Amino acid sequence: MFVGEENRGLWTVAYQENAPVPALVDTVGGPTGLVADVEGVSIWKGAEGQGWVVASAQSEDRFVVYDRQAPHAPRGSFSIAANEPLGIDEVTHTDGLDVFSGVLPGFPRGVLIVQDDGNPRSGQDQNFKIVNWADVEAALGLPALKAE
């Protein structure tokens, strides 16, 4: 299980153990680009325990991706930019996110769904943005793993 602690970082906990001990994966302010508030965390589930962990870095309007398997190496960070021709604004101050690795119509690699605090401006008319997971893979140069 992965847990975001707003002002500290990203943790993992082996919750199935009798006496689980949290382990810090990444700290706020480190070289990976993780910053406060770490609020949204989700897993793109790959086969055989592979996959990716996505954490929001809310105050910098970006997301950091890590290997799902220990030692949870950082794979890079990205922001969700505006698409002006389609009338879609950029994502700001994400409070939550979810990742789905299954096949959906038009999204064979799955999706990332993020809460955006404003549309068209921060603090005005919050909404959600859907991102093709294949675009995240391409942007970060992630290998196309087999989904679970």
Asked whether the predicted pLDDT for residue 40 surpasses 80, the reply is yes
How confident is the model over 67-82, as pLDDT tens digits? 999 999 999 999 999 9
Asked whether the predicted pLDDT for residue 123 surpasses 90, the reply is no
Question: Which is nearest to 66 in space by CA: 6, 146, 130, 9?
Answer: 9
Q: Are 3 and 22 in contact (CB under 8 A)?
A: yes
- Number of residues that this document lists for the chain: 148
- What's the average model confidence in pLDDT over 42-62? 96
Asked whether the predicted pLDDT for residue 121 surpasses 80, the reply is no
